[in-house]
Structure formats: C-alpha cells, structure tokens
C-alpha cells in the first residue's frame, strides 16, 4: 500500500483564487511529520509547510495552510490567492517516527500534483 | 547566505564510468541525504548520514556509494554497477535526523548516461 497518496495528477486554478491539493497518508505510528514541498520547473525542492502529528492547530505559513484531519489521515494543502508563480509540482511527504520499525530518516513522497495557475 | 549547493547542474556519463556528484551545505546541519527522482515520480532515498563518518543505505543504494568525511560535504558516486543511472539527483540536509526536522534541498544534478 502506498504511504502517501496524491489523487490529483493535475489541477488548474484561476489567478487570485484558492486551491486545495489533496494528500492522504498511511502510517501506524503515533509520531510522524507531514511536509509539503513545491518543485518548479527548475527542479529545486522548496519546503512550504510542516504539520506534526501531535499539533492540534493546523499549520499556516503565509498563503499556505495545511488542513490536517488526523482521523481521516489527510493533510491537504490550501493555497490562497493563487499567483502565476505558484505554477509548479507539489509534493506531499511524510516522515515516520522510530516506533514504526523502519527508518525515520527518510521522507516518503507522493507522486505529486501539477498545479497550473491561469491568468 | 546559508544553503545547500550541488554541482554540477548537468552531468553526462558514458556507460561504464563512475561519476561523483557534489553536495555541500553551510547550514551546520548534522544530517544529510541523497534522493533520486525519476520522471513523474516522487523522490526515493539512496543514502543518508546522521553524523560525520557515518552513513546508512536507503531504499535504493545498489550501485551508489557515499562518504562523509566532513560535516559540510556528502558526495555521491554513481558507479558503473548502477543499471539505470539517468535521473535527477537531489541532496538534502536537516538539523538532526529527528522526524520533526525539516529537510532542505539543494538545486539538484541532472545525470544523463550516453
């Protein structure tokens, strides 16, 4: 089973509108971290936002917010007031805690969502 | 400015050759990582290092080797044993290996085997 599932291969949004990128995850750990990264066409992976499994509040960073629903195991990224420069691939990733028995050193990535912002 | 640098940006290799990808960070981070990205895919972990003179295999270590002689540097060698090395390689670092610590990435090296 996939650890991170991003069901939207591509999304389109009009400039200045909000958009939600979906991410569901699978883990039996109690302690884990969820991350969103942006990858523009240049290739660099840019960190956007982090949510810890024990955080009670949804994370926010400027125009980015994370809609964390722990019971549903979802961690959707919300981008408000989209800009043309937001056009990129977006990856959801998870880092599990030591109790999983596996490595807690790696990020497990989804396959990404290609966001296109239209003028 | 603190950050992670990777060189070269583009690298071409003939079959049978070993090549080394450079990764340097001046963030004073303990942990460093190498990931591989194939088209249309997320990243997969090749090797990671928690501390100087220590490194561990990730999910796809076969055909790769690393060293960690200095805190700032974590070079990756793609050997001739790697069957399909054409890919985009990303280096990352984090303050520590803890699951809550963010990994920050370099700009990447695109390797093509001719």
SS3 A99: helix
From B33, B58, B107, residue closest to A43, measured CB to CB: B107
User: Distance between CA B65 and CA B13 in Å, rounded?
Assistant: 16
Q: Please say whether the beta carbons of A73 and A85 come within 8 A.
A: no
Give tens-digit pLDDT for A49-69: 999 999 989 999 999 999 999
Peptide bond into B38 cis (omega under 30): no
Q: What is the mean pLDDT of residues B18-36?
A: 95
Question: Mutating which of A40, A45, A89 best tests the B interface, going by the most B Cβ atoms within 10 A?
Answer: A45
pLDDT at A29: 86
Question: What pLDDT, in 10s, does the model give residues A71-85?
Answer: 999 999 999 999 999
Residue A54 sits at the chain B interface (C-beta within 8 Å): no
A94: contact with B, CB 8 A cutoff: no
Q: Is the pLDDT of residue A1 over 70?
A: no
Q: What is the pLDDT of residue B62?
A: 95
Task: Find out whether A106 and B47 touch, Cβ atoms under 8 Å.
Answer: no
How far apart CA A11 and CA A3 sit, in angstroms, is: 22
pLDDT at residue A102, as a whole number: 45
Q: Does B27 touch chain A (CB under 8 A)?
A: no
Query: Any chain A CB within 8 A of the CB of B75?
Result: no
Q: For chain A, what percent of residues have pLDDT higher than 90?
A: 82
Q: Do B99 and A106 count as a contact with CB atoms less than 8 A apart?
A: no
């Amino acid at each position: 089973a996939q650890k991170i599932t991003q069901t939207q291969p591509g999304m389109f949004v009009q400039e200045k509108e909000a958009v939600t990128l979906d991410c569901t995850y699978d883990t039996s750990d109690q302690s884990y971290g969820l991350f969103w990264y942006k990858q523009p066409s240049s290739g660099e992976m840019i960190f956007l936002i982090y949510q810890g499994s024990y955080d009670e509040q949804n994370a926010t960073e400027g125009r980015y917010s994370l809609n964390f629903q722990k019971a549903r195991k979802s961690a959707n990224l919300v981008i408000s007031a989209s800009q043309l420069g937001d056009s990129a691939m977006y990856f959801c990733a998870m880092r599990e805690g030591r109790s999983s028995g596996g490595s807690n050193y790696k990020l497990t990535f989804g396959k990404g969502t290609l966001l296109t912002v239209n003028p | 400015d603190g950050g992670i640098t990777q060189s070269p940006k583009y690298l071409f290799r003939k079959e049978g050759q070993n090549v080394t990808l450079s990764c340097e960070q001046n963030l004073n981070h303990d942990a460093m990582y190498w990931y591989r990205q194939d088209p249309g895919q997320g990243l997969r972990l090749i090797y990671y290092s928690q501390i100087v003179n220590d490194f561990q295999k990730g999910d796809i270590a076969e055909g790769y080797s690393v060293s960690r002689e200095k805190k700032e540097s974590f070079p990756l060698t793609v050997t001739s044993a790697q069957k399909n090395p054409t890919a985009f390689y990303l280096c990352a670092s984090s303050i520590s290996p803890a699951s809550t610590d963010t990994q920050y990435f370099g700009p990447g090296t695109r390797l093509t085997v001719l």
